[in-house]
Amino acid sequence: MPVNFAPSAVDYLRFLPEIIMILAGTLIMLIEPLLGERKKEGLSFLTVIAFLAALVAAVMANNNPGASFSKMLVVDGFATFFRVLVIGVGILTVLCSAQYLKREHAASAEYYALLLFSVTGQCVMATANELIMIFIGIEISSIATYVLAGYLRDDKRNNEAALKYFLLGSFATAFLLYGIAWIYGTAGSTNLSDIRMYLLTPGTQRNIVLASTSAALMFVGFAFKVSAAPFQVWAPDVYQGAPAPVTLFMSAGPKAAAFAVFLRVFMTAFAPITDRWEPFVWASALLTMIIGNFAALTQSNIKRLLAYSSIAHAGYVMVAVAAHNQIGIAAAMFYLAAYAFMNIGAFAVITHFSRKGEKFVEVADLAGLGWKQPVTAALFSIFLLSLIGVPLTGGFFGKFYIFKAALDAHLVWLAVLGLLNSAVAAYYYLRIIVVMYMQEPGEATASLPPLGAGIQTALWASALGTLILGIFPGILLNFARNSSALVK
């Protein structure tokens, strides 16, 4: 049967968010030479406008769902959820970056264009219905993020972070690509639905081993992207060495998009062989939680501590993946949204507090923040309490739904061990609050400048999102439930 490759107007409408961001990123780079140094600060405003336009386009595209470009991309509730999430992360990142770049004398069109291109790749990942498109989306996002990690070229920490991220990321991508090649050789297709149908066809049992090997190879690539054990070793060094707003971005945007791909591939293409991959995801989830939480206990650098925290939270989402049910998909979606708000808020405080050259990034440097800037400390406390999972915050309901999904899937021990890990995590989060409120102010807090308008907006938006998801979780969870049913 011949395939019609000619795109229609509907195809372009469904792909409009990505088109807007690609054109905006290109335009920002082209107009930079025409701007003076003072006018370059307006680039952040143009970037936010582009993201907002892409956000509106993503919502509009959801009104006309379906497959596009010969079924390579699909727009459904699941894709729209992650599109809106990663674009929202992009907006908050820009708001947190403007003051930082001005402080470091590093404002340029490159930074904002790279953010736009990285989010474009993440949107492609969220909408991809075909393994080659998934690979293209990952590479668009990853290459831009590699460059962002080393954005301050004169900073050795940035250079080291970018090099480690690039080398280890390329290594993991090779596994992913090998897995894609293997399943293509087995099933004769890279379309997720076609692979699923092939594995459901009677008489293909002899190829289940090959399909399982492919799933294992692809798991390596996805586990690296979400910093799940045993492929998490890059995260602490890269998070610590990258510029603070880039770390903020990496911890939320690329991670959410990678989980979107992880869920769609394993819940669609490899759903017929769930019994083969579930034990590995189960073990990885447990190992990720243990490594992340116990390593964070010993950290004195706040960025490194939050990096291990990010690893632990990837473990919680992996619990939902291991549950391999619709409740687990909805729980993972809800948790990733809640985590984006609370983690962006926490890193926004660090971005502001660290000062020029990121001089103050130790936990001890936060001493007395509660007295010098009580509002900033209070907002930071909300984010930390949400990361613990305290009631009335998004983190509480996120963990609640994840562990409920595990119990419904009869993964009782995994849920119990996850709860125990959450108790361990409470120690290092509460330690930060104790330092802020119960220790005398030091050099870092004594000379702390006021919050910039961008970071203030990002902090209040993140706090509002964290509290709304904690008090009215049904607002997002109902949409997540309806969207998760579309992943087949």
> From CA 139, how far away is CA 352, in angstroms rounded?
30
Structure-token pair, residue 395: 């983190």
Evaluate whether 194 touches 253 at the Cβ level (below 8 Å).
no
pLDDT attached to residue 407: 93
> From CA 228, how far away is CA 248, in angstroms rounded?
18
pLDDT tens digits in sequence order for the chain, 488 residues long: 455 556 778 888 999 999 999 999 999 999 888 876 666 778 889 999 999 999 999 999 998 888 888 889 999 999 999 999 999 999 999 999 988 998 888 888 899 999 999 999 999 999 999 999 999 999 999 999 999 999 998 889 999 999 999 999 988 899 999 999 999 998 889 999 999 998 888 766 668 888 899 999 999 999 999 999 899 999 999 999 999 999 999 999 999 999 999 999 999 999 888 888 888 999 999 999 999 999 999 999 999 999 999 999 999 999 999 998 888 999 999 999 999 999 999 999 999 998 888 888 999 999 989 988 999 999 999 999 999 999 999 999 999 999 999 999 888 999 999 999 999 999 999 999 999 999 888 888 877 888 888 999 999 999 999 999 999 998 899 888 888 765 44
pLDDT attached to residue 468: 95
Instruction: Quote the strand ranges of 318-445, DSSP E.
Output: none
pLDDT attached to residue 35: 75
Structure-token pair, residue 335: 């948790």
Structure-token pair, residue 285: 């989830």
Q: How far does CA 370 lie from the centroid of its chain?
A: 29
pLDDT attached to residue 38: 66
The DSSP call for residue 406 is H
pLDDT attached to residue 39: 67
pLDDT attached to residue 204: 62
Nearest to 227 by CA among 250, 200, 194, 211: 250
CA dist list (Å): 376 to 91, 304, 379, 449: 20, 21, 5, 12
